[in-house]
Amino acid sequence: MPNLNEGKERPLDEEHYAALRLVKLLQQQQFSQELERLTAGRLVHERLRLRQLNPFVDERGLIRSRRPAQSQAVDWETRHPILLPPLHQLVRDLVREKHRKLGHAGKTNTRNHLAQYYHILGPRQQQSVRPAHHLCRH
**Does 124 fall in a domain?**
yes
Does residue 17 form part of some domain? no
Residue 87 domain-assigned (yes or no): yes
Reported as a single tens digit per residue, the pLDDT across 69-123 is 666 667 888 899 999 998 899 999 988 988 898 888 888 888 888 988 999 998 6
C-alpha–C-alpha distance, residues 20 and 60, integer Å? 9
**Residue 15 falls inside a structural domain:** no
Say what the pTM is.
0.77
The answer as to whether 4 is a domain residue is no
Asked if the structure places residue 3 within a domain, the reply is no
Number of domains in the chain: 1
Domain that holds residue 97: 22-135
- Cα angle vertex 107, ends 30, 77, to 5°? 55
| Predicted local distance difference test score (pLDDT) of residue 52 | 85
Give Cα 67 distance to the centre of its chain: 12
